[in-house]
Structure 1
Amino acid sequence: MLHLALRMARHRIAALLAIACAALGGAAFVTGIGVLAESGFRSHAPVERLAGADVVVSAAQTYRPKGDLAVGLPERARVPRELTARLARLPGVTAAVGDVSFPAAVLDRRGAVLPAGVTGDPATAGHGWSSTGLPDRLRVSGAAPAGPGDVALDARTAAAAGVAPGGRVSVVAAGHRATYRVSAVVGGSGGGIFFTDATAASLGGRGRVDLVALRTAPGARDSVAERARAIAGPAGLIVSTGTARGDVEAPDAMAGRGALPLFAGSLAGVTLLVVGFIVGGSLAVSIGAQRRDLALLRAVGATPRQVRRLAAAQAVVVAAAALVPGIPLGYLLADRLRALLVFAGMVPSSLPLTFSPLPAVASALLLLLVVRASAWCAALRTSRMAATEAVAESRSEPRTPSRGRALAGFLLMAAATVLSVAPLLTRTEQGAAVTAFAGIVATIGLGLAGPVVVGRISRTLARRLPAGVSAPTWLAVANSRGYALRVAGAVTTLAMAVVFTLTYALTQTTMLKATSNDVASATRAQYTMTAPGLGGLPDDLAAAVRATPGVRAVAPVSGTTVIWTYKMLGDDETDYHSAPILSPAASSVLDLGVRSGDLAHLTGATVAVDAEAARSRNASLGGTVNLVLGDGAPVTARVVAIYSRGLGFGPVAISRDLAAGHTTTGLDQSLLIRTDGSDAAARGLTALASARPGLALGRAYGAPDGAYGVPPELWINIAILAVLLGYLLLGIANKLIASTVQRRHEIAALQLIGATPGQIRSMMRREAALICVVALGTGLLLSVVPLVLLAAGFLHRPWPAGPLWLFPAIAAVVAALAFLTMEVPTRRALRTPPAQALTRA
């Protein structure tokens, strides 16, 4: 069977090339997504500052809901300080260090903040002197800090600041600026600003430490780890050794790692749909090109099962060959996707990808399974027909398209219309995502009902053709009517490109517009002040801003992550959200569209929730909700306000009091400032920002420090759309070329009965025009309903947001594809003498 399949494949190169290209692109996408998913489970951040620690005890930086995957927590969860002394007494422990990290930044002699590339992340650059025992091969020039006025700097920071032991330097630590004596310069520390342990405890310890690092005697690591687990386990703490220490060192990397499987899962759905569509369509063309061969096999005694096995074997062999370059391409694609996630801020740059053969194996098995199943389905009808009927139909299509198939197609299009109502019911990202899905469902329905649609259009067109119409035009319409299945396949693939582009692109742009509208409408402030180089705002900054002439209101706004657990139809549900941290003064600078309650009541354990979330999760005003904060602390909070602008600000906003002690830095990340609009107020704020090092003054319209606004996932979706669209167009082009190539016998027959090459080219161009017009029309019709409903739900108008050139651009691309994929193969076929073309298999 395999030998026969290979022999037949040599004569069907053009048709099988479409399968190869589809499988190659599909393998690349599936492998790349698989690498991301695997990295989310197995990747570890590099061990840097904790390289000298053999065992690390810390709080768990993950949250695992019932029956779901664990997700990383972005905020540092801390452990009791007294645990350090208890672990130090374990046999085999030579040193125990309770590490504390807090915001710190060094100023150079000009008063400017040293960049993070020199000092490290300013949010966690400050440490106690005992933390210098964590790195390997430490070199100390000078003496340890002896009092609250002493500080030690790592070598790079000291060189950038231009100081040496005995010199003086200005440091902003935990929001407080002071001048310190440099007691030592530390080399090989991996970066940091080191205070006495007592000073570090007062600045950032809050009675707890980030982690406890243990050095052990040679050969004692495993036994110490076991004893440490016996102590840490009952308290819910974890013990890490080896590469797992990197996750403890960088909670942001842990949180980013947890986002990778979620991102891969969200991307996998549409990717598999597109890959299946392209692979299935290519196989339908390839098997259609072999109907005569398969029919002859039936005539000489081959069983239906043998015919299907032959068709599947041929397709699997070609797909397997395409996997060889496709899978390595997938590993390269995974690296590009990671770079995209890093650029969007969803994954830290320190988190590497994990490469193993597992994604390649999974991709190969999945693609080969899809190819085999598609080939089996494509050959099913021919294999089950009587031998004489199969031979008779090998050169023509069935006169009457299947009624069951057409009915299923129309039902799918009706179902897509019903799905499109979702944005009217829920103004959320989930509601918007249904729009693009509804477009694909409608396109699948068009693929099933296409022969009936095309047949009716072509029959109507044939009846209305004038008597003196040219021969090429008459032949083009007659071909569309007689080969409705073939024409419908071309129409469906091109319509898929139109629907995919319009629904996915305009869904993203509409979401961007709606989110921006929410933020712009809600922002009453004119300015925002941040301190990115300090790791957080100085404690006295808000008071200084309030004292500036012309300032009417000031409110701190920060961002964090919360996990909301709730009941939905009796089942436990868990959602992860970015949430703004607001104070009672937020209502003076933000208008969230409060429907009930008051943001001024955001004190203590309280939250404000979006109206959509309140309705779907039964979170009424005065009721309580169960949340898990960014450091894993479970809380029960009372709802004090319900607002309507959840698209721009998320489904929940938490009070500043509730977040206190549960963020990594403990400092506010931005101030929103409302003024009287005068130039004097602008000059005063500019002067204040210039006089204090590390401050940045900007316009308030937008999303300060990621607390709210346009989520990075939307930009990622737009980039992914461009890549998938490229693959989709390539697959469509290959399919159309293969479909045109297999018409060489038809072209030769027309030549033999007197048609000139010019007439044949004119006929093919008119066919291309007809296919293009029908594809654009149906694609636009299938897109209009979901997009109009999306715009009505999100923008309160009947048209979506997006560039006006999008439809003309995709129309031009579709027209170019339709004409080029028919013109080029036709010209090539015309170069072959017709008698020779008819004698070929």
Structure 2
Amino acid sequence: MRLAVRTLRYRKSGFIATFVAVVFGTAIVLACGGLMETGIRSNVPPERLAAAPLVVTGKMSHLRPGAEDATPLTEQVGVSAALVDKIRAFDGVTDVIGDLTFPAPVLKQTGAGAGSASPVPGGQGHAWDSARLAPYHLQSGIAPRSGEVVLDSATARSLGAQVGKPVSLLAQGEQKTFTVSGIADGPAGHTFFATDDATRLANRPGQYAALGVLVAPGTDLKGLRKQIEKADGGVSALTGIDRGLVEHLEAVQKKTTLIAVAGSFGGIAAMTMMFVVASTLALSAQQRAREFALLRSIGTTPGQVRRMILGEAMMVSLPAVVVGVLPGLLLGRWLFDQLGANGVASSDVTFYQGLIPFAAGAGAAVLAAVGAALIAGRRSAKIRPVEALAEASLERKWFSWVRLVFGVLFLGGGLALAIVTATVMTGPLAGATAGPAVLCWAIGVALLGPAATKAVLFLLRWPLYAVSRVNGRLAILNVTARSVAMSAAVMPVMLAVGIATANIYMQTTQVDAAAKAFTKDLRADAVLVSTASGLASSLLPQVQALPGVASASAYVTSLGVIDEPRNAPFDEEGAPLQGLTAQGPDGTAPVRLTSGSLEDLTGSTVALPDRVASKIDRGVGSSIKMTLGDGASVDLRVVATFAAERGYESLVLPADLLAAHTTDRMAQQILVRFAPGASLGPELAKLAAGTPGVQVADRDALIAGNGEDLQTQAWVNYLLVGMLIAYTAVSVINTLASATVRRRREFGLQRLTGSTRGQVLRMLTTEGVLVALAGITLGTLVALTSLMPFSAAVSNSVLPSGPIWIYLIIIGIAFALSLLSTLVPATTVLKSRPAEAAARAD
């Protein structure tokens, strides 16, 4: 250890390179750990239900018959009103208050004309009885009676509302006027109605959105929870901070997504850190071959050499971990804010980054450094003393048998996953195997890096020979002879190019394939879109009555589960559902019928994609059993089948049936098809202008809305891939800069034999180009081995979709990093006198 401490100061470049790699690696893994802890906790402080020690809500998942994993329910799951009396009878319960929650945004007047009012986003309506659950306290006025409302004080101030004055709201999608009976202090964004008004507007007969349970002091909440859940197996009783999830359903729905994003990216980041630190330490060990040879020749044992290398790694990694904590905390907070702003995570969730993420980040960084140090110094520690000095001047063997075996295994795993992707997976599910395939290919190539580098450089040197002069040829010979050492610089470039290209083009290919699958049979020319709570049911007949409208249909989307038959081809995420109005063959439905008719799509009916119908052996006239997004079980009669792109199938239900089982219980869009030669832009715009919260958009808005989840996933990939590129850039800079600085003596000898500074720089430029080309070539091959099977699975082409400029930017960054990391330190090194540089030891 003393020797390690004393020698570190003479190897500042290697020390700094490893230190920087561990700092950045710690920061990234710590940030991902914070995201995962936040997702696992999903803590949302209760506000409107804070006064209820226990809140009862419907279970947000459904276990299909015969399934192992539950399917998440994406809509608000109600609680039966009959459960109120049962809970009241339990010991310790003093009262049970049913909560009705429905969209009721207030309208803010923006002009003098009709339709000039705009909805304030996010407003919810409730019965005044549930005001006790916050609690709300009347600041002025009285409790509401029929036709009256109580506003929260913040909303009242923003509107300038006063007791006794009218206020307009959107209720069931229609503008309605109520009288302000009172103003209450409490959480903002909530309007309270009389019980009869709230029951009518909530449109949830026999159900509540949740129940607030008030208990006597000293009541055993844990025991009460068990009693309630035993009384009704379809509910969950929540206490503590979990009560806030009832107020923010999106936090529950996005919990899994946040955990998946943090876990997958954290795993990739940890793997990348391992290779980055390993490549840095491997290069350092290769450059110190002479030092290790001398140590072994004077009697140092292999164990002493390993302990010295391990001690150096610990002395570098431990301070680096401490330094990496602060940027890790800042990065985690910034990432969470970005994910929340872009709809991946709920911004209402409290961000956590405690001791567990710190331990994970610190442990991963230290283990990566220690493991890399042991691997990097393994051969130096095992070499025989007699061979040590001779070995120091020769090119090392490019692999060990352990490395070869694991490299082949990972390549075999990548090949197996690629075959599964191309032959078994379909649509969005293909990413489940294509993503891990990228990692397997990248790890396999990295383990066999020296051999892969040798092969690529062998192919690249011939065209460069043809265009290179003396210094260029010298660079080619130099890099070819030092291919084992150069592989430490090539592998980070390969990782950056391979992972970035594969992940980005997987997203662009999937978004393009989903858009084509959706638009293939889309016949709508325009769409009316709700910007607030939903569209009133009276709006559809008004659109259908416009001259020139060939067809108009309400459009609703959700997720559900086919319970019977049990062999439906959908995974645990559920089946995509579309709600449409019954229509003839010239309607707006984005489907191509193969049997039956959508004119019969009324009541409890469904239209099935051909592959789904064939898989579950159901045709027109048969029936299926489903659980919809709010947990309701329905028996549906099949009235039609239609063609659909494999992997992008969705079930079609009547719009009014599906809307009744969504959170807002209203359609969010109306599809409009024009008669031949008709142009309805002005008429639709006039209708929308007179209806608050409604806008007219073209079919592109419908396409964008259909692929919104994929676009969000794409944005996440762009963000995370950008971070990985930045981190691997650190490795490229570390490796090439360190290698260049260590060649000071070589450059001095070249200049003493007649080479000018410019000739040396031109030689190094050629070397940088070769390193970049080798890394780009290997990275592109890694990406293509996963992208081609993935593209074949999600589309009709083996070539990925997406703009070429993305790839050009990636390889441009790789070239810039390789050249700058070589030339900038070389320029500094070449400022010293040739004789002084040549006299310095390696």
Q: How far did residue 359 of structure 1 move?
A: 0.4
Question: Matched residues in 1 for 2:584 and 2:387: separation?
Answer: 77
Question: Matched residues in 1 for 2:88 and 2:748: separation?
Answer: 89
User: Which residue of structure 1 lines up, in the alignment, with residue 374 of structure 2?
Assistant: 376
Q: How far did residue 546 of structure 1 move?
A: 0.9
Return the TM-score normalized by structure 2.
0.87
Question: Matched residues in 2 for 1:195 and 1:467: separation?
Answer: 84
User: Which residue of structure 1 lines up, in the alignment, with residue 16 of structure 2?
Assistant: 17
Cα deviation digits, residues 278-299 of structure 1 (max 9, x gap): 2222221122222222333322
Q: Which amino acid aligns with 1:75?
A: E
User: Which residue of structure 2 lines up, in the alignment, with residue 271 of structure 1?
Assistant: 269
Partner of 1:238, secondary structure, is: strand
> Is 1:823–2:820 an aligned residue pair?
no
Q: How far did residue 244 of structure 1 move?
A: 2.1
Tell me if the contact between 1:502 and 1:783 (Cα under 8 Å) persists in the aligned partners.
yes
User: Which residue of structure 1 lines up, in the alignment, with residue 243 of structure 2?
Assistant: 245
User: Which residue of structure 2 lines up, in the alignment, with residue 282 of structure 1?
Assistant: 280
Relative to 1, partners in 2 of residues 1:332 and 1:611: Cα closer, same or farther, differing over 3 Å? farther
Q: How far did residue 769 of structure 1 move?
A: 3.0
Cα deviation digits, residues 733-782 of structure 1 (max 9, x gap): 21211222222333344345554444433332232233333334444444
User: Which residue of structure 2 lines up, in the alignment, with residue 96 of structure 1?
Assistant: 96
- Equivalences for residues 332-343 of structure 1 within 5 A: 332-343=330-341
Question: Matched residues in 1 for 2:201 and 2:529: separation?
Answer: 21
Question: Matched residues in 1 for 2:250 and 2:181: separation?
Answer: 32
Partner of 1:77, secondary structure, is: coil
User: Which residue of structure 1 lines up, in the alignment, with residue 475 of structure 2?
Assistant: 476
Tell me if the contact between 1:153 and 1:193 (Cα under 8 Å) persists in the aligned partners.
yes
Tell me if the contact between 1:6 and 1:314 (Cα under 8 Å) persists in the aligned partners.
yes
Q: Which amino acid aligns with 2:79?
A: V
Gaps of 5+ in 2: none
Relative to 1, partners in 2 of residues 1:551 and 1:485: Cα closer, same or farther, differing over 3 Å? same
Identity in percent: 28
Question: Matched residues in 2 for 1:706 and 1:464: separation?
Answer: 49
User: Which residue of structure 2 lines up, in the alignment, with residue 796 of structure 1?
Assistant: 796
Tell me if the contact between 1:578 and 1:707 (Cα under 8 Å) persists in the aligned partners.
no
Gaps of 5+ in 1: none
User: Which residue of structure 2 lines up, in the alignment, with residue 644 of structure 1?
Assistant: 644
User: Which residue of structure 2 lines up, in the alignment, with residue 814 of structure 1?
Assistant: 814
Q: Which amino acid aligns with 1:11?
A: Y
Relative to 1, partners in 2 of residues 1:167 and 1:475: Cα closer, same or farther, differing over 3 Å? closer
Partner of 2:261, secondary structure, is: helix
Q: How far did residue 465 of structure 1 move?
A: 9.6
Cα deviation digits, residues 769-803 of structure 1 (max 9, x gap): 33333334444444445445544554534643322
Question: Matched residues in 1 for 2:300 and 2:397: separation?
Answer: 26
Q: Which amino acid aligns with 1:770?
A: L
Between 559-568 and 126-135, the greater mean CA deviation after superposition: 559-568
Q: How far did residue 524 of structure 1 move?
A: 0.8
User: Which residue of structure 2 lines up, in the alignment, with residue 153 of structure 1?
Assistant: 151
Question: Matched residues in 2 for 1:259 and 1:438: separation?
Answer: 21
Q: How far did residue 361 of structure 1 move?
A: 0.5
User: Which residue of structure 1 lines up, in the alignment, with residue 669 of structure 2?
Assistant: 670
Question: Matched residues in 2 for 1:729 and 1:312: separation?
Answer: 25
Relative to 1, partners in 2 of residues 1:527 and 1:300: Cα closer, same or farther, differing over 3 Å? same
Tell me if the contact between 1:579 and 1:707 (Cα under 8 Å) persists in the aligned partners.
no
User: Which residue of structure 2 lines up, in the alignment, with residue 727 of structure 1?
Assistant: 727
Tell me if the contact between 1:436 and 1:500 (Cα under 8 Å) persists in the aligned partners.
no
> Is 1:165–2:163 an aligned residue pair?
yes
Relative to 1, partners in 2 of residues 1:460 and 1:514: Cα closer, same or farther, differing over 3 Å? closer
Question: Matched residues in 2 for 1:708 and 1:739: separation?
Answer: 47
Relative to 1, partners in 2 of residues 1:518 and 1:683: Cα closer, same or farther, differing over 3 Å? same
Question: Matched residues in 2 for 1:108 and 1:547: separation?
Answer: 29
Q: Which amino acid aligns with 2:536?
A: P
Q: Which amino acid aligns with 2:200?
A: S
Relative to 1, partners in 2 of residues 1:786 and 1:598: Cα closer, same or farther, differing over 3 Å? farther
User: Which residue of structure 2 lines up, in the alignment, with residue 764 of structure 1?
Assistant: 764
Q: Which amino acid aligns with 1:659?
A: L
Q: How far did residue 329 of structure 1 move?
A: 1.9
Tell me if the contact between 1:135 and 1:190 (Cα under 8 Å) persists in the aligned partners.
no
Relative to 1, partners in 2 of residues 1:772 and 1:528: Cα closer, same or farther, differing over 3 Å? same
Partner of 1:741, secondary structure, is: helix
Q: How far did residue 150 of structure 1 move?
A: 3.0
Question: Matched residues in 2 for 1:144 and 1:462: separation?
Answer: 85
Cα deviation digits, residues 683-706 of structure 1 (max 9, x gap): 222221122222211112233794
User: Which residue of structure 2 lines up, in the alignment, with residue 506 of structure 1?
Assistant: 505
Partner of 2:738, secondary structure, is: helix
Between 465-474 and 79-88, the greater mean CA deviation after superposition: 465-474
Tell me if the contact between 1:433 and 1:507 (Cα under 8 Å) persists in the aligned partners.
no
Tell me if the contact between 1:512 and 1:710 (Cα under 8 Å) persists in the aligned partners.
no
User: Which residue of structure 1 lines up, in the alignment, with residue 681 of structure 2?
Assistant: 682
Number of aligned residue pairs: give it.
830
User: Which residue of structure 2 lines up, in the alignment, with residue 520 of structure 1?
Assistant: 519
Between 756-765 and 456-465, the greater mean CA deviation after superposition: 456-465
Question: Matched residues in 2 for 1:637 and 1:731: separation?
Answer: 58
Partner of 2:665, secondary structure, is: coil
- Residue in structure 1 matching 2:345, options 335, 344, 347: 347
Q: How far did residue 664 of structure 1 move?
A: 1.6
Cα deviation digits, residues 437-494 of structure 1 (max 9, x gap): 5455444444444434554666688899989985534432332232120233333332
Cα deviation digits, residues 77-114 of structure 1 (max 9, x gap): 22222433454465655543211112223345655586
Q: Which amino acid aligns with 2:727?
A: Y
User: Which residue of structure 1 lines up, in the alignment, with residue 318 of structure 2?
Assistant: 320
Q: Which amino acid aligns with 2:13?
A: A
User: Which residue of structure 1 lines up, in the alignment, with residue 128 of structure 2?
Assistant: 129
Question: Matched residues in 1 for 2:733 and 2:522: separation?
Answer: 48
User: Which residue of structure 2 lines up, in the alignment, with residue 530 of structure 1?
Assistant: 529
Tell me if the contact between 1:100 and 1:128 (Cα under 8 Å) persists in the aligned partners.
yes
Tell me if the contact between 1:771 and 1:818 (Cα under 8 Å) persists in the aligned partners.
yes
Relative to 1, partners in 2 of residues 1:566 and 1:297: Cα closer, same or farther, differing over 3 Å? farther
Relative to 1, partners in 2 of residues 1:249 and 1:22: Cα closer, same or farther, differing over 3 Å? same
User: Which residue of structure 2 lines up, in the alignment, with residue 83 of structure 1?
Assistant: 83
Q: Which amino acid aligns with 2:52?
A: A
Partner of 1:323, secondary structure, is: helix
Q: How far did residue 360 of structure 1 move?
A: 0.6
Q: How far did residue 538 of structure 1 move?
A: 0.8
User: Which residue of structure 2 lines up, in the alignment, with residue 180 of structure 1?
Assistant: 178
User: Which residue of structure 1 lines up, in the alignment, with residue 105 of structure 2?
Assistant: 105
Relative to 1, partners in 2 of residues 1:438 and 1:540: Cα closer, same or farther, differing over 3 Å? same
- Equivalences for residues 170-569 of structure 1 within 5 A: 170-188=168-186, 190-204=188-202, 205-217=204-216, 219-220=217-218, 222-223=219-220, 226-227=223-224, 229-236=226-233, 237-398=235-396, 416=414, 419-421=417-419, 424-425=422-423, 426-432=425-431, 434-435=433-434, 437-455=436-454, 471-533=470-532, 535-562=533-560
Tell me if the contact between 2:151 and 2:183 (Cα under 8 Å) persists in the aligned partners.
yes
Q: Which amino acid aligns with 1:816?
A: A
Cα deviation digits, residues 353-373 of structure 1 (max 9, x gap): 123111011111122222222
Partner of 1:302, secondary structure, is: coil
Question: Matched residues in 1 for 2:225 and 2:770: separation?
Answer: 75
Tell me if the contact between 1:24 and 1:323 (Cα under 8 Å) persists in the aligned partners.
yes
Q: How far did residue 325 of structure 1 move?
A: 2.7
Alpha-carbon RMSD: 3.8
Q: Which amino acid aligns with 2:805?
A: W
Question: Matched residues in 2 for 1:719 and 1:619: separation?
Answer: 43
> Is 1:7–2:6 an aligned residue pair?
yes
Relative to 1, partners in 2 of residues 1:311 and 1:251: Cα closer, same or farther, differing over 3 Å? same
Q: How far did residue 247 of structure 1 move?
A: 1.4
Cα deviation digits, residues 100-136 of structure 1 (max 9, x gap): 112223345655586665xx624xx121121222223
Q: Which amino acid aligns with 1:57?
A: V
Q: Which amino acid aligns with 2:524?
A: A
- Equivalences for residues 601-750 of structure 1 within 5 A: 628-633=627-632, 641=641, 643-645=643-645, 652=651, 656=655, 659=658, 661-676=660-675, 678=677, 680-703=679-702, 706=705, 711=710, 712-750=712-750
Q: How far did residue 516 of structure 1 move?
A: 2.2
Q: How far did residue 641 of structure 1 move?
A: 3.3
Tell me if the contact between 1:103 and 1:173 (Cα under 8 Å) persists in the aligned partners.
yes
